[in-house]
Amino acid sequence: MSNTTGHNFRLTTFGESHGTAIGGVIDGCPAGLVVDEPFIVAEMARRHVGADATARREADRVEFLSGICEGRTLGTPIAFTIANGDVRSSDYDAFADSFRPGHADYTYYKRYGLRDPRGGGRASGRETAARVAAGAIAKMILREKGISINARLLESYIPPANDSVGGIIECIVSGLAAGIGNPVFGKLNASLAAAMMSISSAIGFEMGAGFAAAKMTGSQFRDKWNPDFSTQTNHCGGMQGGISNGMPIVFRTAFHPATTVGQPTECIDRNGTLHTVTPQGRHDRNHLPRTVVVVEAMAALTIVDFII
């Protein structure tokens, strides 16, 4: 189902951005894991970093309802909620009957026949808070196995006044042994691609040399062996045939800019009438800095699903 990701370590998320709460349920977390609460707090805070980050400042405190007893996981489902404390639905009233350009307003309307107009409903970037919370649990498991996940801004821009920018985030998974992944449709790179493209505003994905590999010859592209089974280059991004080769997993995700900007915006209503609206809400001129931890969270959820 569309709100669940993973097979062995499975996350189901729920919640509209302007409802009571968002949250998730993790199924498949091993029993006995020590839950590092300060780490969760720190990860959640990373969703608010950046000089130009969104003005919205939820506390984003993760409350666990189940699956944890005396600081350790029980092996049962870990349910958690994150309250939507700072809801200003009135900011969105102007859009109640409008489909904004570049937003999922229209597509949700066509998909479901009705929608919760307040704050983008389920399509809001707020939904990623649940991913980051679950990703923090996944990282704790990976940490015990010596696997680390680090993403960074590779291409970033300064937003001009009243406009937004996109960018590229690179992510590196280190410490993953060779032999992780599955052939054919269960390739590790396919799962990573799906995980990244499931993040709002993701619009491109590449492994290793990526699109530049299209211009290389086979003798240039193929990574030469070292006697310890590492390779002299990492054009393939750490896997062959969808299975890790022991080199770092390297991939990049391109994100388009946020499509709500502080400018008059031509919207369309259900009857096809175009009209101009000037948005009053808070808008994210550069969502890239706060997306870094989301990329890491999705990578962690993907990797942990393969190794559990």
Token pair for 46: 């990373």
15-44: contacts with its own copies (CB under 8 A) = 15-16, 19-23, 25, 27-28, 31-32
Among 53, 87, 94, 268, binds its own copies (CB under 8 A): 268
Check binding of 260 to its own copies (CB under 8 A).
yes
The Cα 134–Cα 151 span in angstroms is: 17
Query: What token pair was written down for 247?
Result: 């080199």
Residue from 172, 254, 292, 300 that binds its own copies (CB under 8 A)? 254
Binding mask 269-308 for its own copies (x = CB under 8 A): ---xxx----------------------------------
Binding mask 129-168 for its own copies (x = CB under 8 A): --------------------------x-x-xx--xxxxxx
Q: Look up residue 276 and give its two tokens.
A: 């101009």
Strands 239-240 and 265-268, bridge-based pairing: unpaired
- Burial tier of 15 (Cβ tally within 10 Å: 0-12, 13-18, 19+): buried
- Footprint of its own copies on residues 174-233 (CB under 8 A)? 177-187, 189-198, 200, 202-211, 213-219, 221-225, 227-229, 231
Q: Which residue type sits at 247?
A: M
Give the residue among 213, 215, 169 at the shortest CA–CA distance from 192.
Answer: 169
- DSSP-derived secondary structure letter, 281: S
* Interface size with its own copies, residues (CB under 8 A): 139
Q: Is 95 in the site for its own copies (CB under 8 A)?
A: no
Q: Which residue type is seen at 83? A: A
- Choose between 45 and 212: whose C-beta lies nearer to its own copies: 212
